[in-house]
């Protein structure tokens, strides 16, 4: 028998994973260290240098009010990524417990929580976010909150279905027979077994959140000037798409790049977690691979 090449037996660092990870590290790293890297103040106006083409002074050129696009990209990335994290964070904090409780207890609680989720899902996601922002005022925080709420149902439903699978396994019954409390069974016995799948979903969600935040900003509902994020940059510069295409294409490209990289990375994680071992690569296993442990 040959070793099956289509199934990855536990090699995590495959070419796509390495490349996507590198892209993610470069983007996230440069965004974090924007203060050090950025050559200009992202919001400084320079009317003498409006709509300049790329040069050694302005690597990616300038926009209609002479702001350096490269610098704006770096600082904009901060807003974009942080708000995406915020969105996903809100959905995790509420969605995961809702899913766990709903799946574990079932019955009326389950019906109630899931109907609420259904109501949220039945509206187009962005439309709901628009309504929310329109009602509570335009601000970045409101945009994040709005999208966060929109993201809750999907995560809650995923967690619930994982719970439904796990709670019928023997180890849960064993936990009951030992007399563990429900809280302990939910959060210490079952939840750790759902983490790997939820984690995969989260990395995907971050990609979507970046896109959705860009869409919100593009429509003027997200960040407010002069702060920028990638979506807002797209919006500002779309008028010059024909004359100075780079101004709008660059932020668009970065969004695509980070979403694609996240997706590929997630695929890699999934391929590693799913077929052979469901457990996350624990530190020991990783060490064993590197040959550091005795075991």
Residue among 3, 108, 183, 294 that touches another protein (CB under 8 A): 3
Q: Which is nearer to another protein, 184 or 238 (CB)?
A: 184
- The answer to whether residue 192 forms part of the interface with another protein (CB under 8 A) is yes
Please answer whether residues 275 and 44 qualify as being in contact, where contact means their C-beta atoms are separated by less than 8 angstroms.
Answer: no
The span from the CA of 85 to the CA of 91, in Å, is 10
- The answer to whether residue 163 forms part of the interface with another protein (CB under 8 A) is no
Q: Which stretch binds another protein (CB under 8 A): 27-35, 55-63, 174-182, 259-267?
A: 174-182
- The answer to whether residue 169 forms part of the interface with another protein (CB under 8 A) is yes
User: Within its chain, how far is the Cα of 226 from the centroid?
Assistant: 25
- The answer to whether residue 193 forms part of the interface with another protein (CB under 8 A) is yes
Q: With CA atoms as reference, report the closest residue to 288 among 2, 10, 5, 4.
A: 10
Residue among 189, 229, 235, 236 that touches another protein (CB under 8 A): 189
Q: Which stretch binds another protein (CB under 8 A): 1-9, 94-102, 107-115, 267-275?
A: 1-9
Residue among 107, 137, 179, 225 that touches another protein (CB under 8 A): 179
- For residue 280, give Cα distances in angstroms to 37, 73, 95, 194: 35, 34, 22, 11
Residue among 112, 119, 174, 260 that touches another protein (CB under 8 A): 174
* Residues of the chain by 3-state class (helix, strand, coil), percent to 5: 70, 0, 30
The DSSP secondary structure of 177-230, one letter per residue, reads HHT--HHHIIIIIIHHHHHHHHHHHHHHHHHHHHHHHHHHHHTTSS--TTS--H
The span from the CA of 64 to the CA of 46, in Å, is 9
Q: Which is nearer to another protein, 48 or 294 (CB)?
A: 294
| Beta bridge pairs of residue 68 | 62
- The answer to whether residue 177 forms part of the interface with another protein (CB under 8 A) is yes
- The answer to whether residue 183 forms part of the interface with another protein (CB under 8 A) is no
- The answer to whether residue 178 forms part of the interface with another protein (CB under 8 A) is yes
| Beta bridge pairs of residue 57 | none
Q: Which is nearer to another protein, 199 or 257 (CB)?
A: 199
- The answer to whether residue 294 forms part of the interface with another protein (CB under 8 A) is no
Taking each continuous run of H as one helix and of E as one strand, the counts in the chain are 12, 0
Q: Minimum Å distance from CB 29 to another protein?
A: 31
Q: Minimum Å distance from CB 193 to another protein?
A: 5
Residues at the site binding another protein, with contacts judged by CB under 8 A: 1-4, 6, 9-11, 169-171, 173-181, 189, 192-193, 277-279, 288-289, 295
């Amino acid at each position: 028998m040959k070793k099956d090449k289509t199934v990855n037996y536990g090699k995590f660092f495959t070419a796509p994973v390495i490349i996507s990870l590198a892209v993610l590290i470069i983007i996230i790293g440069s965004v974090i260290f924007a203060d050090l890297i950025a050559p200009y103040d992202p919001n400084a106006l320079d009317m003498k240098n409006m709509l300049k083409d790329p040069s050694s002074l302005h690597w990616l050129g300038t926009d209609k009010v002479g702001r350096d696009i490269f610098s704006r990209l770096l600082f904009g990335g901060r807003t974009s990524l942080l708000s995406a994290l915020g969105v996903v964070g809100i959905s995790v904090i509420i969605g995961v417990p809702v899913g766990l409780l709903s799946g574990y207890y079932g019955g009326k609680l389950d019906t109630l929580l899931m109907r609420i989720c259904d109501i949220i899902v039945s509206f187009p996601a962005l439309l709901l976010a628009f309504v929310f922002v329109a009602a509570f005022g335009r601000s970045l925080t409101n945009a994040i909150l709005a999208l966060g709420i929109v993201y809750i149902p999907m995560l809650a439903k995923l967690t619930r279905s994982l719970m439904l699978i796990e709670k019928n396994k023997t180890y849960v019954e064993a936990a009951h027979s030992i007399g563990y409390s429900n809280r302990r069974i939910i959060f210490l016995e079952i939840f750790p077994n759902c983490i790997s799948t939820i984690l995969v979903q989260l990395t995907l969600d971050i990609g979507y959140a970046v896109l959705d935040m860009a869409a919100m900003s593009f429509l003027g509902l997200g960040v407010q000037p002069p702060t920028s994020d990638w979506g807002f940059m797209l919006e500002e510069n779309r008028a010059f798409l024909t004359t100075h295409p780079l101004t709008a294409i660059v932020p668009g490209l970065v969004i695509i790049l980070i979403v694609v990289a996240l997706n590929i990375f997630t695929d890699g994680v999934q391929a590693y977690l799913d077929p052979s071992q469901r457990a996350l690569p624990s530190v020991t296993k990783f060490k064993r691979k590197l040959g550091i442990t005795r075991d």
